[in-house]
Amino acid sequence: MEIKMNEDIKELLLMVTSIAQEKPELLNARENEIYLKFSETGFIEVYPSLAERKFSLIGLFCAESFEKREGFTLFYAFKQEGMAPVLILVRETGKEKMTTSIAEAFPSASWFEREVRDGFGIEFDGAFDTRRLFLHECYPEDFHPLQKAFKNGPIRQAESPRMEYKFRQVKGEGMYQIPVGPVHAGIIEPGHFRFSVIGEPIFSLEIRLFYKHRGIEKLAEGKSPSECVVLAEAVSGDESMANATGFCTAVEQICGINVPERAERLRAIMLELERINSLLGDLGGMAVDVGFALVASPFHVMREEVFRQNEKLTDSRFLRGITVPGGLKKDIPDSALKELPPFLEKFTRDFESAYNRAISSSSLIDRFATTGVIRKELVSPLNLTGPLARASGCPADIRIDRPYGAYKDFAPQNSLRKNGDVLARYEVKADEVRASIALILRLTENLPKGPVFAESAGYAGNNSSGNISGATGYSLALVEAPRGQSLHWVYLKNGLVDRYKVRTASFCNWQAIEHAVLGNIVPDFPLINKSLNLSYAGTDL
């Protein structure tokens, strides 16, 4: 098989080979992604230098019986900030379910490794945290749902949990623990927070999530890509469009489908509407969490208006059921699209007045400024992305760094703040709403006519013809969801999904909260949490 490479990829390959003594095996390369395989000693030699060269570990996932290999194959996805190519180091464990941990060099690996361990039963030697992640105590021992040997179905719960989940103990005079959740007083998702405090200041916080595991990755196995889109949309409610686009982009890359321009533009319009929606929820929610309902209510009203606009465009308030691999299921009528610019014009006026009311209130600023600081040094090691990274002085945005779809021609305005506190995040989010509005207006202008579905893909309803049916291959797609970088890796085997890995931005961003709250007082925690807008569902597939 001949592998085509562009300049960026060649440069990356050159750099990696210059680090290593041995020459890696080039498994595959595509625009912006390259798969290299080293021997075990080669891998151990290479990865510390990647950390030195400011690569972030953006994903670590596993596949069983990948291509013609036996046993398990691990994929380590690395990316440099601001660069488009993703370097994927392939590591085989074979039948040995044992390998070494890289969490010392890449802290973000810790959760990834625990996730792989739970799903596939691979032990990572030298890991500093070996507790279970998404499998809670009630799951039986030796239960690893992502192994091919496990067939989806009811499982027998462990009668007596193997071991208690041990939280970090912080000891000292006057130190006490506050356990919060997973059941909360409000209608919010479940998560457990273990604070260690002396009086009000927080000395340590440990989070435990994964109370709502749905087995999405397992459900995807053996499904056709068009069926699988529904699963991608279900990953996280207010990121339906982003995750559907991520999944479809990966499939389109595998099958070499060129999505018609109209479909790409419409997708981008919907992605930006979704972003506005999510950000409005934050802008309102953060005001609610400091008890300022008066300032919050216009944001909630505007959010509802956007929902209704979504419904007019796609018949779905959450923009679901319209994206398919190859384009869109149906065209959006021009009459509905014509309503967008006047709607956004009025929306902008409302938004500016609501935002000015918020940001000109001294009592609000007093709560937001200096609260919950995320230092820039954390961004790369923990792979933090999205508005929270941009508020900490790191301009990462997949739409700009590694554009997909219509973003190749329509780059959004980037917003940057340096302080990394709640106020910086508030300002970044407001800026991004404005940038999204401007982008939608540019996208709707001179919208090309034509099909919204690539015929070469074969129609989603009948799997008989087209490029997707019978396709085999794998590809990685990154999209900028409202919360940040969302990673989708799809492995198709004979036109069916063999492995679908999603890693939403929240999976990495959650780990920032343990750092952001240090030194803050307990009553400021809900505000910090809301300002980070972390999805529980998006983390726990």
Partner 1 sequence: MNTSFLLFALLNPLFALLAAPLYMSLIRKVKAYAQGRKGPRLFQVYYDLKKLMKKEAVYSPTSSWVMRFTPYLNLSTLLVCSLFVPLVFVPEPAGGLGNIIVFLYLLALERFFTALGGLDAGSAFGGMGSSRSMSLAAVIEPTMVISFAALAFVLKSLNLHQMFALTAGKILPISPTLVLVSISLFIILIVETGRLPVDNPATHLELTMINEAMILEQAGKNLALLELAHALKQFLLMGILINTILPVGLSTEIDAGKIAVSAFLFLLKAGLLAIIIGLFESAFAKMRLFRLPAFYVMAFFFSATTILIEVFA
List residues near partner 1 by CB under 8 A: 177-180, 184-187, 199-200, 287, 289-298, 301, 361, 363-364, 366-367, 521-526
User: Given the complex with partner 1, which of 197 and 259 has the nearer CB atom?
Assistant: 197
Q: Which is nearer to partner 1, 124 or 193 (CB)?
A: 193
Per-residue tokens: 74: 């691990």
Asked if 347 and 440 touch (Cβ cutoff 8 Å), the reply is: no
Residue 494 Cβ vs partner 1, minimum distance, rounded to whole Å: 50
CB of 129 to partner 1, least distance (A): 25
We find the least distance from the C-beta atom of residue 192 to partner 1, in angstroms, to be 12
Instruction: Assess contact for 533 and 483: CB atoms under 8 A.
Output: yes
Phi/psi region, residue 172 (left: phi>0; alpha: psi -120 to 50; beta: rest), is left
The 10 Å Cβ neighbour count of residue 48 is 14
What residue has token string 């891998």?
43
Rounded to the nearest whole angstrom, what is the least distance from the CB of residue 308 to partner 1 in the complex? 16
Least CB distance from residue 367 to partner 1, whole Å? 5
CA distance 253 to 477: 8
Q: Which is nearer to partner 1, 287 or 508 (CB)?
A: 287
Closest CA to 107 of 165, 60, 53: 60
Least CB distance to partner 1 at residue 20 (A): 49
**Nearer to partner 1 (CB atom), residue 3 or residue 293:** 293
CB of 184 to partner 1, least distance (A): 7
- Tell the smallest beta-carbon distance from residue 137 to partner 1 (Å): 22
Burial of 27 (0-12, 13-18, 19+ CB in 10 A): middle
Residue number, 155 or 294, with CB nearest to partner 1: 294
User: Which C-beta is closer to partner 1: that of 44 or that of 198?
Assistant: 198
| Encoded tokens for 508 | 């990495």
Burial of 162 (0-12, 13-18, 19+ CB in 10 A): exposed
**Residue pointed to by tokens 């085997």:** 493
Going through 189-342 in order, the beta strands assigned E by DSSP cover: 192-197, 202-208, 323-324, 327-328
The letter for the amino acid at 92 is E
- How far is residue 300's CA from residue 521's CA, in Å, rounded to a whole number? 28
Would you say 201 or 237 has its CB closer to partner 1? 201
In the complex, what is the shortest distance from the CB of residue 292 to partner 1, in angstroms, rounded to a whole number?
4
CB of 202 to partner 1, least distance (A): 10
Least distance (Å) between residue 354 CB and partner 1:
11
Sheet of strand 496-503, all strands in order from the earlier edge strand to the far edge: 473-481, 484-493, 496-503
Nearer CB in complex with partner 1: 165/176 = 176
- Which residues have C-beta within 8 Å of that of residue 18, sequence separation ≥ 6? none
Nearer to partner 1, 179 or 395 (CB): 179
Q: To which H or E segment does residue 100 belong?
A: strand 98-100
Cβ burial, residue 464 (10 Å; 0-12/13-18/19+): exposed
Q: Cβ(484)–Cβ(394) under 8 Å?
A: no
- Name the residue nearer to partner 1 (CB basis): 64 or 524: 524
User: Which of 84/528 has CB closer to partner 1?
Assistant: 528
Find the shortest distance in angstroms from Cβ 205 to partner 1: 11
CA end-to-end span of the chain, whole Å?
35
Distance between CA 352 and CA 354 in Å, rounded?
5
287 vs 497 by CB, closer to partner 1: 287
Q: Among candidates 398, 490, 404, which has minimal Cα distance to 31?
A: 404
Pick between residue 282 and residue 524 the one whose CB is nearest to partner 1. 524
CB 273 within 8 A of CB 434: no
8 Å CB contact between 484 and 295: no
**In contact, 534 and 509? CB cutoff 8 Å:** yes
At its nearest, how many Å lie between partner 1 and the CB of residue 300? 9
Helices 340-359 and 422-444: crossing angle, nearest 10°?
160
Backbone angles phi, psi at 255, to 5 degrees: -90, 0
Q: Which two tokens stand for residue 509?
A: 């961003």
Sign of the alpha-carbon torsion through 135, 140, 145, 147? positive
Closest CB 191 distance from partner 1, rounded Å: 13
Residue with tokens 């999805």: 535
Of 107 and 281, nearer to partner 1 (C-beta) is: 281
